[in-house]
Structure 1
Amino acid sequence: MPYGFNNRILHVDLTGKNISVEEPGENFYRTYGGGPGIALYYMLKDMPPGVDPLGPENLLVFAPGLLTGTVAPCVPRYTVCARSPLTGAFGKSEAGGWWGPELKAAGYDAIVIKGQAEAPVYLWIDDGKVEIRDAGKIWGLETGTAAAAIKEELGDERVRIAQIGPAGENLVRYAAILNELGHFNGRNGLGAVMGSKKLKAIAVRATGRVEVCDPQRLKELSRWVSAEAKVHPLSKALHDMGTPGGVEGNNAAGALPTRNWTNGTFEGYEEISGTRLNQEILVKRGGCFSCPVRCKRVVRVSGEYDVDPRYGGPEYEALASLGSSCGISDLRLVAKANEVCNRYGLDVISAGLTIAFAMECFENGLLTLEDTGGLELRFGNKGIFLELLRLIAYREGFGEWLADGSVALAKRIGKGSERFLMHVKGQELPMHDPRVKTGFGMQYALAPQGADHQYAQHDPFFVPGNPLGQKAGRPLGILEGVPATDLSWRKVRTILYTSFLNFSYDSLGACVFGFIARSVTPYNILLEIIEAVTGWETSLWELMKTGERLNTMARLFNCREGFGRDDDRIPERLFTPLKSGPNKGSLAIPPDDFRKALDLYYAMAGWDEAGRPRQGKLLELGLDWLAGV
């Protein structure tokens, strides 16, 4: 019998209302893992090039990781993939929480969805039974109300629900998918793909469990990780402060994106910091299935901005994108804006950066009050912020201009506004400045899904003298630390290797907050966990080759869709010095050095000068079936 996976892929055709199950066999899982590996296989095999991202031919794949659903620590994650309506490229977004483990326990390793329903529906998966149900009564509802209605209809409060809100229904191109109201597949607009299929939600209930090969050994390993997580400096910091702790650290480094990246420090940073959040609005530390780190923030606010703790709390990305990027220093307003995004189903990063871009355009006279419907789009204007988010979600008034993202907005405005854009491949940048940590520039340029801060590991873990980075790097052959602002071959190699590593983590369902270099669990313990779950004799070599295989497949998908070297670029603003903070007037990325670094990454990855994987590399990775793509 299979261990760790079910050998069952659920296929759902919403047009024909057909449901089928495929059993691909053990070699399939050992080749592609779970998560994005499963999605890429079906997207490259069964989806023709050039499909409309919001059309019925686009595949929407939900796929937990290979280890997800077991009691292994820190592996709760699942991936959603499709062709992105925001970028037109490979769309990929991960989430933690409880939904992915529930799907695995219900007997399925992935759901591959095609077609388009005639009227709103939701999927109901009750252990192995699958039903397409009418969602007419819940279409249009905010996420909290919709989740309650589904649970009432099914008569079970323990149902796990992945769903979209009004933003996804209205095809906002950066609409999110969320589960349990506080865990998000936020990026790439995959909520809009779900909305285009008129699929409101996927509700899952499982009474079984995922079988593992050696349950006793897995329990022992889990206990070790749980004990270490309490004392390990990185996992302990994540538990104590969560990602909001990044506000203070990035501001001190001059790397906190402020007013649409025009500055690297924010005078109001203390007001939106992790310390202030812990002191004033935190009510508990939440977490995901079988995770001892518990990095999630759950907040409550009363008064002018009532914030419901059911929706969790803001992460660092929300505090910076909805806060400093827009010049907002009111913690309670930012927490409310985060909750509003969760109610509507909006990606906080793209929402915040699209608004910040519009604010810079307004302040430079490129947008007028007539354009905005009378809204003063000035940095720091608190009075318009929540209304802007509502307008976006419902595509009303000026929200219609904002709902397709900053690149589409720049095309609509014209007048040279594109010089203020902060995006890669059409996706707005996460809240990390490559001028201070140059590896982020390479991550943003090379990530197949557009600007992404988890495509590879972060520069500070591998700087000289960092013992935790040395522990992570040496088994990969990275024997010397690399300065954060370096762009030499050593930095390129570090990004290459750790981009493979992070793809392999995604295939396992592993959260980077639970594993080296970002946290507690080293490679040898991870390999033992894989063996205890699957029974496979495996190695770091096999793990890295899986990651390289998926990285290559994602690149090939983008090549097939017309993306190439010219799309591997970063905003011009990053080639200019910072205007404030400790790095004022310095640390601009040298354009020639950046282009040379990309050339070197291509060569190291086995891609040609245009960025296309060479046939020899495809064959070496066992991807002979893609050699002619």
Structure 2
Amino acid sequence: MPSAYHNRIARVNLTTHEITVEQPGAVYFRRAMGGWNIVAEVLIREVPPGTDPLAPENKLIFAPGVLTGFPISGASRHAVGAKSPLTGGFGATEAGGNWGAQLKRAGFDALIIEGAASHPVYLWITDGTIEIRDATHVWGMPTKETAEALRSEVGDHRAELAMIGPGGEHQVRFACLMHGTKDAAGRTGMGAVMGSKRLKAIVVLGKQRLEPADPERFSALARMMAQAVNSGERASSLHNYGTGVGMDGGLASGNLPIRNFRDGEFEGVERLSAENLMASLGVGMDGCFACVVRCKKVVKAEAPYVVDPTYGGPEYESLGALGTTCGVNDPVAVAKATELCNAYSLDTISTGVTIAFAMECFERGLLTLEDTDGIDLRFGNGDAVVQMVRKIAYRQGLGDLLAHGTRYAAARIGQGAERFAVQVKGQEYPMHEPRLKRALAISYAVSPTGADHCHALHDTGLVHADDQGFVQEGNLRSLGVLEPLPLESLGPAKVRATIYQTLRQATNNSLCMCLFVPWTTAELVDLVRVATGWDVTAFELMRVGERAWTLARLFNLRQGLSASDDTLAPRSYEPTTSGPLAEGGIDPEALRQAIHTYYAMLGWDRESGIPTPETLQELDVGWAIDYLP
């Protein structure tokens, strides 16, 4: 019998220690597919407006997808969601590795954590059972030591952990969840929510093999992708170097942020390239469950910092956030800062951008040496970055202020510091420049999680045509985006393309499929069919994404966010000081018009961005009408 889902969602109340299992049925799982849709529905139904994200009343949801756990490339991921302590709205992030596959193979489709323990605890999940165990002895430990101790305690080194380090324990607003020591559910502060519940870790060992509905066709698809990657036909640069390839190109185009998104020139960027990292520090490549791409760098160093390969190595976002955004070109310093983020469970993106914000404030005289405890917090000081990671994790000195993120810190510092806080809805920008990619500007502004690159359109792929005049980017072409579009466009055609890509990625975030494994739209449909036995179509899968995206919007509206929050950081409306983007920033009026067009195209009110009742009915979530503001 196919086992794409078990029809078992576990609910663990850490206050009462009650553990229950819900069985919502086949229609529920086909409508949701997992991931974001499960997260959004639980949050809308169960987290009332005004709930403190760090209170026991918040819910923390772990949700794989129907493909998670099958032995095929890209199907290793799961979503983690809660009301975000960073934004006050929809919190959702995804992680790869092995943990999500293990949860599915342990007999559960999702896990809902509610309440808060009276003392530190961890969960032990295996063979369809869940235990709540004491974790007092590992509270305070970094992630490596936590994993070693709890694997020893459960008696099996194959067990996988979702856990927090000191950053999550101290409820840093952008604390992440680490899965093992390399794989982060990085964004929106889910580690802080876990820390508020005094939940140190969730240890999982799954032994059940998942059976696809069509084993022969499933195996053929797995072999096809393996051959395409191993031959270099697909994902060759990721397979050989991971992300971070082409840092030089990012600088040349203007995509790579420099010194808090202020500048456009940077010397020594080649030192941070993936090619140089692998040549100088690399000890190998690592991968997620059953994936042939193996895109994760593993690095090691002895000086000037000891860098532990157990924690993997910096990928593109970390290289940008802890490197160029802070003006640092020392690869060992960036690798060490990345290691500490993984050890302490901090999002490398928000950590780096927050430190860069503090560096600019320091250089402008808004922060002093007294504020920084004597740290020379200037751009380019790699040692200062390493020190500030520790201070943020343990909320020491200036780190206590920065642990709230740039929006809060800027408001506290005052003196115009808000101009230097590069964030949307409280979440710091990723390492992709919306002044270059105007679809990204739309995506950042309207994102329910705050600025995020993983459910956005990177419109550099829309610029070029093939020999027939069609846009080269195949997945968008397969959805009906046929003609190339200029980067600077914010017109209706760009808005339409942005929506299509966003909904496709929201589908991926519900199926929990990795965007680094280049399945085509047709292949993705085939994968779902052969795994589940359901006669799904591309149309149905896009509706899955639209459902998730609209429900995420609805949760934000219920929590008090509005169309006025769909905007960019002030810096994006200004030119950089030099480089390719020195000609000018984004036109705020053109962006505003694009956002209103975006609302209308999605069936939301053109001015307020509130989904209409008819749209919710059309998406088969009529129940959500009762939750409209």
Partner of 1:40: 40
Residue 579 of structure 1: how far off its partner (Å): 2.1
Partner of 2:171: 171
Instruction: Measure the CA separation in 2 of the matches of 1:599 and 1:488.
Output: 11
2:543 equivalent among 540, 545, 562: 545
Output the amino acid matched with 1:64. Answer: P
Partner of 2:486: 483
Residues 565-607 of structure 1: CA distance to partner in whole angstroms, max 9, x if unpaired?
11000012111222222x2532521111111100100000111
8 Å CA contact 1:607–1:614 kept in 2: the answer is yes
Instruction: Measure the CA separation in 2 of the matches of 1:371 and 1:141.
Output: 28
Residue 386 of structure 1: how far off its partner (Å): 1.7
Are 1:597 and 2:594 counterparts?
Answer: yes
Partner of 2:54: 54
Matches within 5 A, 1:68-107: 68-107=68-107
Instruction: Measure the CA separation in 1 of the matches of 2:557 and 2:546.
Output: 16
Query: RMSD across aligned C-alpha pairs, in angstroms?
Result: 1.3
Residues 200-230 of structure 1: CA distance to partner in whole angstroms, max 9, x if unpaired?
0000011111222111210111101111123
8 Å CA contact 2:436–2:581 kept in 1: the answer is no
Partner of 2:393: 393
Partner of 1:616: 614
Residue 457 of structure 1: how far off its partner (Å): 3.1
Partner of 1:253: 253
Residue 40 of structure 1: how far off its partner (Å): 1.2
Output the amino acid matched with 2:495. Answer: V
Residues 367-391 of structure 1: CA distance to partner in whole angstroms, max 9, x if unpaired?
1112222222111123322221111
Which SS does the other structure have where 2:616 is aligned?
helix
Instruction: Measure the CA separation in 2 of the matches of 1:248 and 1:468.
Output: 25
Higher mean displacement: 1-10 or 504-513: 1-10
Output the amino acid matched with 1:332. Answer: V
Higher mean displacement: 398-407 or 594-603: 398-407
Residues 172-217 of structure 1: CA distance to partner in whole angstroms, max 9, x if unpaired?
0010101121000011110000000000000001111122211121
Output the amino acid matched with 1:590. Answer: D
Output the amino acid matched with 1:594. Answer: L
8 Å CA contact 2:143–2:180 kept in 1: the answer is no
Matches within 5 A, 1:221-620: 221-231=221-231, 235-465=235-465, 469-514=472-517, 519=518, 521-581=519-579, 583-608=580-605, 609-620=607-618
Matches within 5 A, 1:138-177: 138-177=138-177
Instruction: Measure the CA separation in 2 of the matches of 1:384 and 1:82.
Output: 32
Residue 305 of structure 1: how far off its partner (Å): 1.0
Instruction: Measure the CA separation in 1 of the matches of 2:97 and 2:480.
Output: 33
Residues 112-152 of structure 1: CA distance to partner in whole angstroms, max 9, x if unpaired?
01000000000000121110000000000011001100011
Output the amino acid matched with 1:535. Answer: G
Instruction: Measure the CA separation in 2 of the matches of 1:457 and 1:575.
Output: 19
Residue 233 of structure 1: how far off its partner (Å): 5.3
Output the amino acid matched with 2:41. Answer: Y
Which SS does the other structure have where 2:371 is aligned?
helix
Output the amino acid matched with 1:139. Answer: W
Residues 282-339 of structure 1: CA distance to partner in whole angstroms, max 9, x if unpaired?
1111111111111111111122211111111101111111011111110011001100
Instruction: Measure the CA separation in 2 of the matches of 1:575 and 1:385.
Output: 27
Instruction: Measure the CA separation in 1 of the matches of 2:394 and 2:488.
Output: 42
8 Å CA contact 2:471–2:482 kept in 1: the answer is no
Instruction: Measure the CA separation in 2 of the matches of 1:72 and 1:144.
Output: 28
8 Å CA contact 1:256–1:266 kept in 2: the answer is no
Instruction: Measure the CA separation in 1 of the matches of 2:624 and 2:600.
Output: 20
Instruction: Measure the CA separation in 2 of the matches of 1:238 and 1:382.
Output: 27
Instruction: Measure the CA separation in 2 of the matches of 1:384 and 1:577.
Output: 27
Given the superposition, is the C-alpha separation of residues 114 and 246 from structure 1 closer, same or farther in structure 2, using an over 3 Å criterion?
farther
Partner of 1:189: 189
Given the superposition, is the C-alpha separation of residues 388 and 534 from structure 1 closer, same or farther in structure 2, using an over 3 Å criterion?
same
8 Å CA contact 1:285–1:294 kept in 2: the answer is yes
Instruction: Measure the CA separation in 1 of the matches of 2:570 and 2:397.
Output: 31
Which SS does the other structure have where 2:255 is aligned?
coil
8 Å CA contact 1:456–1:500 kept in 2: the answer is no
8 Å CA contact 1:163–1:201 kept in 2: the answer is yes
Which SS does the other structure have where 1:578 is aligned?
coil
Output the amino acid matched with 2:54. Answer: L
Instruction: Measure the CA separation in 1 of the matches of 2:516 and 2:231.
Output: 14
Residue 483 of structure 1: how far off its partner (Å): 1.8
Residue 474 of structure 1: how far off its partner (Å): 2.5
Higher mean displacement: 459-468 or 93-102: 459-468
Output the amino acid matched with 2:542. Answer: M
Instruction: Measure the CA separation in 2 of the matches of 1:241 and 1:2.
Output: 36
Residue 477 of structure 1: how far off its partner (Å): 1.2
Residue 484 of structure 1: how far off its partner (Å): 2.1
Which SS does the other structure have where 2:188 is aligned?
coil
Structure 1 alignment gaps of length 5 or more? none
Given the superposition, is the C-alpha separation of residues 176 and 558 from structure 1 closer, same or farther in structure 2, using an over 3 Å criterion?
same
Instruction: Measure the CA separation in 2 of the matches of 1:564 and 1:412.
Output: 23
Output the amino acid matched with 1:593. Answer: A
Which SS does the other structure have where 1:29 is aligned?
helix
Residue 468 of structure 1: how far off its partner (Å): 7.7
Instruction: Measure the CA separation in 2 of the matches of 1:510 and 1:186.
Output: 16
Residues 88-122 of structure 1: CA distance to partner in whole angstroms, max 9, x if unpaired?
01000000000000000000000001000000000
Matches within 5 A, 1:118-133: 118-133=118-133
Higher mean displacement: 521-530 or 612-621: 521-530
Instruction: Measure the CA separation in 2 of the matches of 1:564 and 1:597.
Output: 16
Partner of 1:220: 220
Residue 246 of structure 1: how far off its partner (Å): 4.2
Residue 268 of structure 1: how far off its partner (Å): 2.1
Structure 2 alignment gaps of length 5 or more? none
Which SS does the other structure have where 1:369 is aligned?
coil
Instruction: Measure the CA separation in 2 of the matches of 1:443 and 1:231.
Output: 34
Higher mean displacement: 530-539 or 268-277: 268-277
Output the amino acid matched with 1:498. Answer: Q
8 Å CA contact 2:471–2:481 kept in 1: the answer is no
8 Å CA contact 1:257–1:265 kept in 2: the answer is no
8 Å CA contact 1:254–1:580 kept in 2: the answer is no
